Amino acid sequence: MKLAPRGSRRVRIIPMKRSNLIFTHASVFAVGIAVAVIGTKVSDSSGPQSSGGESNSRAARSGSFENLASGESAGHRSGITEARSLSKKDSKPPVEQLSDIVRMTDPFDRQRALMELVDRLGPGEFAAVADKFRELDHLGDSGGEYDMMLRGWAKADPLTALEYVGQFPNSRAGRATILSTWAGHDAAAAEQWATDNHQGDGANPYMAAVIRGLAGTDLAEATRLAQAMPHSRERADAVNSITRALFLQGADAAMAYPASIKDDALRGGFVSAIAERITAKDPSKAAAWLTAMPDGGIQNRAAHNVAEALAKEDTAKATAWVSSLKPEARVEAARGIIPIMSRTDIAGTATWVSSLAGTPGYDNAVEEFVWSCDYRSPEQSAAWIAGVSNPDQQRKLYYRMLGGWAQRDAVAVKQWVAANNVPPDIAKRFNR
């Protein structure tokens, strides 16, 4: 079947003790009494090889057994001999070769032999081999090896491969593998299939797979397709796929890329994904990059993870960094620091959180502190709930925090509620 050229669109393909408590919430908490209200976050990890290197890759795999080091053990050489004999063309029907391959004990030999078998299969042979693969018991990584087979099938006959996997339950991962491989050498046809076969108004999961295969060869087109997707997990998957491709060009190229994105939400998604990868290797570098951004909303997307990584190294450095951010991002950054800081210094954490009063989203910082010490100092934790200015958020926090405490010590909760000024429904619920 002839597929539409790259530029074509929409052509259908059919196919603690109380006396020692520390209440420092804005310096207005007395022991046991809160007296003030402070105001206003299948796959595929490997993309397809570019079609330009396919012939060289095929040739390299064909000679893979002869290129093994000569100093291997006798047992390993025996395995190599077995793999070489299996690789001889036409020695057995493909399904029989597969049966021998999956029983090979050396994983490297098994992978090489399977790759050579897949390389030799004609478009009409894949279905029988796939059926046999599903039928057999496996010694090795059956999921990864089946994935390899689907990738080979996608290059030979993607439409039939898609039709085949579609007949089984939980076919989403198989379709994603085929589509990402197909998109690596014919993105327009893969995109067209994804568009024509998606039903419903939600995000198109097929398009995320197409973007994954396309990202390595055409970042601009992959980004265009991602931008057209609604906000969703699928769009986040697409952004992560593009981000992986960006880092193949180096961290600096990746960090420069978000500036080219006009859509604010998509740009924020890229900043979050890029910052996460940089933070894993160099939190200080990620922190400096984020600080330089002029948009607090964009900073906010990555602030939590970066702050958490900094706090694991040095809480003083992390709290100082929070002050360098735009106000819109400070509370989200603080939420990454509070649990780590409070492990060793509840009093110091309480003082620091109080210093953030008036920052946009401050209620979320208070809630984070409540949960950071609710087991170690429940009275302290409960007293801070009064500092949440949003009545609905405050009530939910009372019910959840006091409910958990009551499971551990119902008498203590009853005593605390009786001694403190809490909303009437909270008092009725826990003081009985």
262 inside domain: no
**What is the identity of the amino acid at 270?**
F
Reported as a pLDDT band with limits 50, 70 and 90, residue 90 is low
349 inside domain: yes
- Structural domain of 406: 374-432
Token duo for residue 285? 């570098």
Tokens 């039928």 locate to 135
Tokens 């796929």 locate to 241
Whole-structure pTM value: 0.73
What residues are paired with 30 via a beta bridge? 33
Q: Are residues 322 and 405 in the same domain?
A: no
Please tell me the distance from the alpha carbon of residue 44 to that of residue 392, in angstroms, as a whole number: 41
Write the DSSP symbol of residue 68. S
When divided into structural domains, the chain yields a total of 3
Token duo for residue 84? 């070489």
Please tell me the distance from the alpha carbon of residue 360 to that of residue 347, in angstroms, as a whole number: 23
Reported as a pLDDT band with limits 50, 70 and 90, residue 83 is very low
Q: Are residues 60 and 148 in the same domain?
A: yes
Please tell me the distance from the alpha carbon of residue 306 to that of residue 284, in angstroms, as a whole number: 8
Among residues 358, 384, 406, which one ends one of the domains? 358
Please tell me the distance from the alpha carbon of residue 90 to that of residue 82, in angstroms, as a whole number: 15
- pLDDT score, position 243: 96
For the segment 43-61, what is each residue's pLDDT rounded down to a tens digit? 333 333 333 444 444 333 3
For the segment 92-131, what is each residue's pLDDT rounded down to a tens digit? 899 999 999 999 999 999 999 999 999 999 999 999 999 9
Among residues 104, 123, 156, which one ends one of the domains? 156
Of residues 31 and 159, the one with the higher pLDDT is 159
Q: Are residues 337 and 385 in the same domain?
A: no
290 inside domain: yes
Q: Are residues 354 and 389 in the same domain?
A: no
pLDDT of 238 > 90? The answer is: yes
351 inside domain: yes
Write the DSSP symbol of residue 215. T
For the segment 140-198, what is each residue's pLDDT rounded down to a tens digit? 778 889 999 999 999 999 999 999 999 998 888 999 999 999 999 999 999 999 999 99
- pLDDT score, position 141: 77
Q: Do the beta carbons of residue 251 and residue 224 sit within 8 Å?
A: no
* 233-247 helix and 205-214 helix, angle to the nearest 10 degrees: 0
